[in-house]
Amino acid sequence: MINHPILSPTPSAYSPNKKAKARAEKARDQALWQIASAKYKLHLLGFLIAIILVYFVGFFLASFIGRTSWRMAEGLLFRIPLIRAVYPNIKQVTDFLLAERRFEFSSVVAVQYPRKGVWSLGLRTGKPMKQVQSKVSEELVSVFIPSSPTPVTGYVIQIAKEDVIDLSISLDEALRFTISAGVIKPSEDAKLPLPPVEDT
């Protein structure tokens, strides 16, 4: 093998300049960071503008002129055939969810649901529908049966008052029991034993 400075040059003679490469990578990283930072600032600015717009729109609608204008806009919406069929239902749901009122449950109860012999934890909500009560001789009550582990969903049943057992536990204890799928039990001194199920 011939080792000659002309015939066998060092690798550095053909390799790129490391400092130039490092500067190029640094410039690229800075450019990418500036682009990402600009996008983040733009999104943040849009979010702040949206909050400000919502605030001022709400402030305007709360005023007398705003309420009058909103009623006029609703009147125009009710004249459009497709929107007229959908808007009242949506408005009823949103009014129920956004209304400034406190929705309270009367008490925590136990009922046999979905069949006799299976006891479910429920929340008494009040009186039944008048049309249902008028068709039944016995007194009825409305009970909400929360689902586990999401108690915000469930079933509403109208059941005879005599078939409902009031439990001396708080709403928080009932919700903890439901969310934990029965793992977190109410305090022992607050429990009431369920009566035996009669054979039919």
Quick check: is 138 in a domain? yes
Q: How many CB atoms lie within 10 A of CB 134?
A: 8
> Which residues, given as ranges, of the chain have pLDDT below 50?
13-14, 189-190, 200
pLDDT of 101 reads 53
Quick check: is 196 in a domain? no
pLDDT of 119 reads 94
Quick check: is 177 in a domain? yes
pTM for the model stands at: 0.47
Quick check: is 86 in a domain? no
Quick check: is 75 in a domain? no
pLDDT of 13 reads 47
Q: Which residues on neighbouring strands pair with residue 121, listed in sequence order?
A: 110
pLDDT of 35 reads 83
Quick check: is 129 in a domain? yes
Quick check: is 36 in a domain? no
pLDDT of 190 reads 46
The one-letter amino acid at 13: A
Q: Which residues on neighbouring strands pair with residue 155, listed in sequence order?
A: 145
What span, in angstroms and rounded, lies between the C-alpha atoms of 41 and 32? 14
Q: Which residues on neighbouring strands pair with residue 146, listed in sequence order?
A: 154
For the chain, the domain total comes to 1
Q: Using only C-alpha atoms, what is the Rg of the chain?
A: 34
pLDDT of 188 reads 58
Domain that holds residue 174: 107-190
